[in-house]
Chains A and B, each alone.
Chain A
Amino acid sequence: MSLYDKYINKLKNQRLADKAVYVVTEDRVSVYGGDASTELMLAAQELKAYCLLFVRPAEPFMTALEEAAKDGEFAPNDSETRTFLHTVPVTDNFAEVPSALKRRKAVFVRRQGIITAAPFGAEQAFIFASSVLFSGFVKFFSDTGEAALLRNPCCTETALKLFDKYIENFHRSDLPELSKDIMRSDESILSAMAQAGRATVELGLVDSFFGNISVCKGKNIYISRTGSSLDELDGEIDVCPTDESACTGLTASSELASHRRIYEITDKRVILHAHPRFSVIMSMICAEKCENRGKCHYACTKKRYVGSSPIVPGEVGNGPRAMVNTLPPAMKDNDSVTVYGHGVFTVSANDFNDALRLLTETETAALKEYQSILLASQTSTRSPL
């Protein structure tokens, strides 16, 4: 199976897309995944892009994106978008696709779908498209939820319908039993990490290219590599010595520093990090007007929670605004911590069972809280009979 077919199948099997077509231009043009429209072929020709991917999102993502794009180019506040996509241009017209893709990684064409251009081919185009799917979804639901919380509701009916559709298609809480006694050997650790990664993706708690996972045993941290998929971790784990006697962690997850610090200050030996959609959404919904508004992702000082999971600010990786300064201290007293606009980190002592359970519980709590915000706002604005 070609890489193109692999990612088309991923988009469809994860029920993210109704249609996905790659147009690949090397010294000749190839199309994968079905027929490419004339407009798409023209865009590829004008851009001279190596790899163009068109995705027609499945519901509820398509409607969420349409709503997020109502006012044109949008800039979601989630961490992935802020760091990598910056903004998502919006157009009604395929003719404007090339100019949008000359400055940004992806564009949303109303009533059509997402188009991404990737110089590195199938995998990169897939990542861009799934990032837009995630960010558009998060933006619509966080905007709608926050408006409801501020008693200024808009699109509540649409949001509730999409929410129901999402619950019907995506929400699962049937936890699989994961391996125990995983610390026996290197092999048992690697195999347990691969199993837990797959389960996290299958439960819909992360899109496959986000998230990371680690185990600490003795003087080593076993951690998923940057750019790895949680459902394909075989051969994708770096072993990083805690005594920093080697730089093999150069290719480790961006969150290695946070994982390392958590292991230093807690007795936990397993970390699971995913991007469950409604935990991310709930972390971003806040009715308080304060001096840090607009800087919440690194400067929020309020005590807030998703379920019982405290929310902390912090950006990806390193630096003064990074979550390495906020997440590990919060994990001293909590086995689940949510990072604003980013995702949930859970820990457990010996294997991934508790970590996965906590992740699921945090997301379930987020879904309940979100629904109650919408329902409360709907009641309060309904005209009296």
Chain B
Amino acid sequence: MYAGKILCVNLTDLSFSILSPENSIYDKYIGGRGLCGHLLSTHLDSNPLIFCNGPLTGSGYQTTARCAVMHINPKTGGIFRSDFGGRFAAALKNEGYDGLMITGRAENPVSLVIDNGVRFGRVTDDFAVVEAGAHSGINWCSILSDGFFTTHRGGTGTMMHRMNLISIGIRPAAEPQKPDTSAYEDIERLINAAPSLTGRPGIGRFGTAALYDLAHARNILPNVFFNLPKPDAHTNACAIGETESVSCGSCTIACRKRKNGLRIPEYDGFAMLMSVGIPFDKIIETYNFCLKQGIDVITACHCIAQSGMDAEEFLHSIPEEFYNGADRFTVKGIELPAIAPDGALGAALGYATSPNGADWTTAMALTHEILRKPVPTDRYSVEGKAVINIAYENAKAAADSLPVCRYALFAVSLEEYAKASGTTAAHLADCGNEIFMNEISIIRRLGFGMETDRLPDGLLKPEQQKAFDSELKKYHRMRGLI
């Protein structure tokens, strides 16, 4: 379940050491995102780059191959947390580590290799790998894992460039067997029962870009806040045609898609590129160019909309004035994702209160406001969303720490994953609360006060804004922040 060790690498003197967290740290922070937060909080002054797996990594349970990453966001000075799929998390666990914490700066560009020990040198081709995107100028450069998986926003690639760290390679672990347990069956039954996951029009078949049709029909695509023409309804995920599924590992949904060797964009990337006017037949090519370059598509599309430049021209020669991203539609310096706030007010509240900045993956309101799970809620009403968002923020924080993929939460609750990890849903939710509040504490130390929990002006209608402000206050009261 746990390896009990964190590998700490100092690039300045190319040394490494081992941290052995107390059991109480694992009890409180679980692993993954929670453990990342604990390490970041404890070593904040060293500006570390942290990757952590969790207790379910390598267990074979569905969607548990995610690797958590956390660091100070080089673009905003705030916190950045995310996760990515692929072999990296399981490989790190297989080498005997729950986490990898990197500090310092190498004198010359290096690659870190973890293979029955630690060395600096060439990464073997078949290793699980994390590499920085090629664009070293922008402060929002992403990473690429196993040449396919990525994190959105946050500048993890920028961190690696600044550390003179080209890549990290780990000898891969064998794919785990699926567990023969009732918990596995319970989870699988829920995944199979969810139309949004494994249904014929679901993300298991069309990738998360399948969400484009709902966003289009509900008028919540980014063109709404960019004030650009609404893209065509018919140039959607179905129009891409049949694709090849790529599993993050231990996943029976397999929502990552590939066609002719190229990755199909996820929902945010697809909706953003369509909204800023990239022609449909150029979407996949453009997205894959961005992947290799480490150009975060959401940030880039905000810059394109703000600059008024031709999209292709912008992406191939990003003007220096946009090296720190756009600044019109941001929360805590992070650009809004691809769901317009005025058509999903729980999501909007989640943007404002996420320690990460504008981010729908923290409060996950998309799940109930758009996908109607576990029950539908009124997307035009913010009333009552504070308490729901808090419950989801805590559940998501716990899920990220086990780790479990955000898309599994479209159907599966903590109750089923608690059974898989030998605890209760309530205990996981309590841990999730600790994990979330630790991140709040970190952003406070980084200078982001409660006044930064706000949406950009003018996105909500006046009557929406009034209700929003009232619910935001309620949120702060319930979180014990005022």
Contact = CB atoms under 8 A, between A and B. Distances in A.
Interface string B423-464: 011110000000000000000000000000000000000000
Interface string B203-234: 10010001111100100000000000000011
B201 A248 contact: yes
A317 B193 contact: yes
B277 interface: no
Contacts of A240: 201
Contacts of A14: none
Nearest to A316: B193
A253 B196 CA distance: 10
Interface stretch (B14-22, B38-46, B255-263, B386-394): B386-394
A285 B261 CA distance: 52
A83 B387 CA distance: 26
Contacts of A253: 195
B189 A120 contact: no
Interface in B354-394: 368, 370-377, 384, 386-388, 391-392
Contact of A251 (B189, B196, B233, B377): B196
A210 to B, nearest CB: 13
Given A249-B199, A256-B199, A260-B200, A50 B427 contact: no
B375 A120 contact: yes
Q: How large is the interface on B (under 10, 10 to 19, 20 to 34, 35 or more residues)?
A: 35 or more
Contacts of A121: 375, 384, 387-388
A317 B200 contact: no
14 contacts: A26-B478, A86-B416, A104-B415, A227-B374, A245-B236, A246-B201, A246-B233, A246-B234, A247-B206, A249-B195, A256-B200, A316-B192, A317-B192, A322-B192
Given A27-B474, A103-B425, A256-B200, A251 B375 contact: no
Interface in B162-215: 186, 188-196, 198-203, 206, 210-214
B474 A244 contact: no
A319 B375 contact: no
A110 interface: no
A120 B386 contact: no
B195 A250 contact: yes
Given A102-B425, A245-B239, 18 more contacts: A83-B189, A86-B415, A86-B416, A103-B425, A104-B415, A227-B374, A246-B201, A247-B214, A250-B201, A251-B195, A251-B372, A254-B194, A254-B195, A254-B199, A315-B189, A316-B192, A317-B192, A317-B199
A124 B201 contact: no
Contacts of B234: 245-246
B37 to A, nearest CB: 22
A24 to B, nearest CB: 9
Interface string B84-114: 0000000000000000000000000000000
Interface of B: 186, 188-196, 198-203, 206, 210-214, 217, 233-234, 236-239, 368, 370-377, 384, 386-388, 391-392, 395, 415-416, 418, 424-427, 474, 477-478
B192 A120 contact: no
A5 interface: no
Contacts of B196: 250-251
Contacts of B199: 249-250, 252, 254, 256-257, 317-318
The majority secondary structure among interface residues of chain A is loop
Contacts of B376: 123, 225, 227-228
A250 B193 contact: no
Interface residues of A, number: 45
B195 A86 contact: no
A47 B430 CA distance: 11
A319 B478 CA distance: 41
Nearest to A320: B192
A121 B378 CA distance: 12
A247 B211 contact: yes
Interface string A84-128: 101000000000000001111100000000000001110110010
Contacts of A86: 186, 415-416
